[in-house]
Amino acid sequence: MYFLALLFLLITTEISAKVVLIDPGHGGEEVGAIGHIGNKNKYYEKDLALRLAKKIKDELAKSTSAYLTRSIDRLVSLQDRAQMADDVRADLFLSIHFNSSVNEKSHGFEMYYLDNNSNVATQKVERSENLNLKGEELIVNQILVDLVVQQTVSHSKQLARDVHEKLKPVLKKNKLDDRGIKPGLFYVLALSKRPGLLIEVGFMSNPGELQKVKEEKFLNEMAKAISEGVMAFVKNMK
Ligand SMILES: [Zn+2]
């Protein structure tokens, strides 16, 4: 009986022993997007991203190993975030962000995987998320990106599909427009060299949407669905 229990433990450990590194975007003096509700209430992307990332970590930790690139409000370079993927031997990398636009009406959820072919609309998101990287390293990264895309794109796409599938009902329930899965050139994904996603939960520049996405209950639902999607992927990962 003891042997069987041990065997079971070994098998379940084998299946679920994937390491997920969750990356709350921005931090410290780099606040990311800024949103307002009314005149007084100001929200920073770095804070919302950290709240959601912690919840995802707690959900994932029930089934597998999960780490955060930062657990407090501090500045971390994209290189250091990526280095942590090596340090914790991450299998998957999830970068958590909230969107922003000069058009206050822009709204909706979207999710990116690393790929080279992106359109003009995506370039705006890329610019705001690719900050905090030094100029000379960008050149090296173009070569790195091609290599990493080759190695990760099929897994990243499948991960995106699995997470998206679990998120659909949450987005629908909370009346958040679903802008779907898109390719994007995000250096933090390239540098991490892992299959991964960059999630833009909703537009902080849209006060109505900010009101929804800052809610504890909504963030709990998102965290649970994202975690379920990741675990669905992990179970089928060869
Ligand atoms: Zn961001």
- The pLDDT value recorded for residue 167 is 98
Q: How many domains, in total, are found in the chain? A: 1
**How far is ligand 1, taken at its centre, from the CA of residue 127, in Å?**
10
DSSP label of 106? -
Query: What tokens were used for 78?
Result: 């994209």
Residue 2 lies in a domain: no
The pLDDT value recorded for residue 95 is: 98
- How much distance in Å is there from the Cα of 70 to the middle of ligand 1? 14
The sign of the CA dihedral 156, 199, 60, 57 is: positive
In the chain, % of residues over pLDDT 70: 88
Asked, for residue 1, whether it belongs to a domain, the answer is no
Q: What is the mean pLDDT of residues 35-60?
A: 96
Contact call for residues 201 and 56 (beta carbons, < 8 A)? no
CATH assignment at residue 141: 3.40.630.40
Whether 80 is covered by a domain: the verdict is yes
Q: Does some domain include residue 173?
A: yes
Q: What is the pLDDT of residue 124?
A: 82
Per the structure, the complete domain to which residue 181 belongs is given by 23-118+132-236
DSSP assignment, residue 35? E
CA–CA separation, 138 vs 106, rounded Å?
Answer: 29
Q: Give the pLDDT confidence of 105-152 residue by residue, as tens digits.
A: 999 999 999 998 767 778 888 888 887 666 556 655 677 788 999 999
15: pLDDT confidence band, cut at 50, 70 and 90? very low
**Which tokens sit at 204?**
């902080």
233 alpha carbon to ligand 1 midpoint, in Å?
Answer: 24
Give the pLDDT confidence score for residue 144 in this predicted structure. Answer: 79
Residues 101, 104, 106, 109: is their CA dihedral positive or negative? positive
Q: Has residue 154 been placed in a domain?
A: yes
pTM of the predicted protein model = 0.90
Q: Are 45 and 53 in contact (CB under 8 A)?
A: no
pLDDT surpasses 70 at 234? yes
